Amino acid sequence: MRKGPRTGRKAIVGSTYIQGKEGDPTTKELTALQNVMPAPKCMQDGSAPVTEPLEKVNLSDDPFTPRLISVSTNLTPQEKEILITILKEFRDIFAWSYEEMPGLDPSLVCHTLNIQPCSRPVVQPRRNFLPDVEVKIKEEVEKLIASGFIKPIKHPTWLANIVPVKKKNGQMRICVDFRDLNKACPKDEFPLPNMDILIDSTSGQGLLSFMDGFSGYNQIKMATRDAEKTAFRTPYGNFYYTVMPFGLKNAGATYQRAMTAVFHDMMGKEVEDYVDDLVVKSKTRETHWEILKKRGIDVDPAKTRAIALSPSPSNKKELKSFLGKLSYIRRFIPGLAALTGAFTPLLKQNEKFVWSSKCEEAYGKVKELVMRLPTMKAPIPSIPLKIYLASTATAIGALLAQEGNPGEEQSICYVSRQLQGAETRYPKTERLCLALVYAEQRLRHYFLAHKLHLMVKTDLVRYLLTKPVLSGCLARWLLQLSEFDITCVTPRAIKGQALIDMLALFPEEETSILSREVPGELPEHSTMVAYENLWTLHFDGSSTTTGGGAGVVLTSPDVESMALSFKLNFPCTNNVAEYEALIMGLSTAQEMGIRNLKVVGDSNLVLSQLNGDFALKEMALAPCRTVAEKLIGAFAQITMERIPGTTNRYADALATLGSKLSFTNEEPSISVIRKDVPTTESQSMTRQFERDDWRRHI
């Protein structure tokens, strides 16, 4: 059971699912606690919901002092006998009371406050309690004194009040209001483990043992120089903690540091730890391996049931509580941000809470999804991950998946968020790129450990990720993604319900090419139709005294366009500029993988020379025509059409812009913003409103 020497002894309880229960309080006791606020559910004692049946096992030889732990009923009689024998052999590491809890050696870890030197000590004013509540406070103080957790103090410099909190079983927990003390303490940046990685590392194990630190924080001593600063006031005197209490700012970081020091050579191998929760894992049970591997990672049904049965929120506090519960299972819900977008206006500070039919509809969809959450899988090393992107006008999302068995995709994680500010004005292509960047930020540990196949059917996304010619946010995103091994792959079929669920929640995405009549895997041609459609290339060139310019506009079959403006920083004629614009447009289309193209321009000379109608007389144009003809031959289907200059204004404006620009260092990023109302008109409306304002003096 033990591996190597350990400094200090830390008592633990045998399971997070077992807590000692005492007798029900009397009616008098309940009356005395009426004016005490109830404890939050996360602080309540009692058994945590589990999906596996457990049974109580007594480790004590004394029938009058039971020592109960929880053991799975799925164990075979032989396994149960072996486990109980081991637990009894190492019974001294478990604790059922404060007296049995030795604590950790202060030479290994102790909690320090590191109060900032400029901070002034705060003595909080006294609070009064009902007489019956004071009796309960006295009982709890006597317990803490008997266990050695607190000591009396006469002249404290820092002094906080207690906050009695009523437990679910009617007893009382004494909390201390350390808010003033916490403000004076700098934050301890010791990292907590990544919860997604912990869940993945425990998935697929043959045997798991769950342990919880018994009053874990109180097993760490306070630093001698800081102990008296934790002083608190009671009706029976002032006391300070000799052990680390709950409520201190950096208590969690100190506890995690202690666990890392104790189990550093076992974490990630035999042990996983998150603050005071320990999981000992093993792969030695071959007969049970396949069952757990197929089961994967599931949400506790009790959690989902609590969400599904909750009534509609009636105020902001209840809505925030509901969203907080959803954040616990967000990796299981496809398009969560798109679903909860209807609630966003209600959370604004000065917004009146009005629960509309739109909110109720979104609320119902969320509850419906919660009741049929998918089973997630932990990623398998050395196998590439697949990432699917989706977006709407208000939200972005991504699905991380992996192909386990041939032809079967296993979902790993969903991520999504709402678009903010200027992001809502991004075109569809940039929204998809933003979704990829957000997925990288949330799932960076997966991106670093695996090769990734980006499943995109949008040529513009493919182009932006492989040809970094743009500046601004796109250039920053490309630089941010350059450290990962990402390959663009064309999705050929839908494999798995997880992708179908995500696409259903992002209806504005390009999913119409996927037939809904055939469930499961679709034929290849159904996802390749978009690539066989015709793209359009508008081009134009410009030559002025300040230089040359070229404009290119590529339009997809879905009428989504990409505009490029080039500065020709060399002497050229207008015909050379026209050829340069055409060549750069053809090169861009070829790099994007476009096979069928319609070329549209207003240069009669260039198009007629390429069609063979005009002979080449200017020798300076010969190299340009040769390059253009070579590029034209690379397309499966290409047509050329001449149009009047008045109908080619978009490309003409880009060419003129490029010729007029002058820059020496970085290529500028230019945004063109549409404004529907004149500024003078909007100001006039504002002034008119101010004149007619009813709040004027009588």
Spatial strand order in the sheet of 150-152 = 150-152, 237-241, 232-234, 160-166, 172-176
Q: Tell me the average pLDDT across 441-449.
A: 85
Whole-angstrom distance, CA of residue 676 vs CA of residue 209: 65
Task: Read off the pLDDT band of 230 (50, 70, 90).
Answer: very high
How does strand 207-213 pair with strand 12-13? antiparallel
Q: Which residue has the higher pLDDT, 116 or 274?
A: 116
Q: Please tell me the pTM assigned to this model.
A: 0.46
Whole-angstrom distance, CA of residue 194 vs CA of residue 197: 5
Q: Which residue has the higher pLDDT, 464 or 216?
A: 216
Q: Which residue, chain included where needed, has tokens 């494999």?
A: 495
Summarised one tens digit per residue, pLDDT across range 142-201 is: 888 888 889 999 999 999 998 888 777 677 777 899 999 999 999 988 888 887 777 777
What pLDDT, on the 0 to 100 scale, is given for residue 25? 43
Q: Tell me the average pLDDT across 646-668.
A: 78
Rounded to the nearest 5 percent, the helix, strand and coil shares of the chain are 40, 20, 40
Q: Which residue has the higher pLDDT, 50 or 483?
A: 483
What pLDDT, on the 0 to 100 scale, is given for residue 9? 44
Q: Tell me the average pLDDT across 501-523.
A: 40
In whole numbers, what is the pLDDT of the chain averaged over residues? 75
Summarised one tens digit per residue, pLDDT across range 249-280 is: 888 888 888 888 877 777 777 778 788 787 88
Summarised one tens digit per residue, pLDDT across range 665-694 is: 666 666 666 666 676 665 554 455 445 554
Q: Which residue has the higher pLDDT, 220 or 42?
A: 220
b/e map of 621-658 (b: 16 or more CB within 10 Å)? beebbebbeebbeebeebebeeeeeeebebbbbbbbbb
Count of CA atoms in the C-beta half-sphere (13 A) of 81: 3
What pLDDT, on the 0 to 100 scale, is given for residue 517? 32
Q: Tell me the average pLDDT across 315-337.
A: 83
Summarised one tens digit per residue, pLDDT across range 539-550 is: 999 888 878 889
What pLDDT, on the 0 to 100 scale, is given for residue 157? 92
Q: Tell me the average pLDDT across 381-397.
A: 86
Task: Read off the pLDDT band of 21 (50, 70, 90).
Answer: very low
- What lies within 8 Å, CB to CB, of 46 at 6+ separation is 19, 168, 169
Residue 498 scores a pLDDT above 60 = no
Pick the range with the lowest mean pLDDT from 223-237, 328-342, 464-478. Answer: 464-478
Summarised one tens digit per residue, pLDDT across range 294-322 is: 456 667 677 788 888 888 888 888 888 88
Residue 462 scores a pLDDT above 90 = no
What pLDDT, on the 0 to 100 scale, is given for residue 586? 92
Whole-angstrom distance, CA of residue 322 vs CA of residue 48: 19
- What lies within 8 Å, CB to CB, of 504 at 6+ separation is 334
Q: Tell me the average pLDDT across 572-592.
A: 89
Task: Read off the pLDDT band of 466 (50, 70, 90).
Answer: low
Summarised one tens digit per residue, pLDDT across range 468-481 is: 455 567 777 877 88
What pLDDT, on the 0 to 100 scale, is given for residue 634? 85
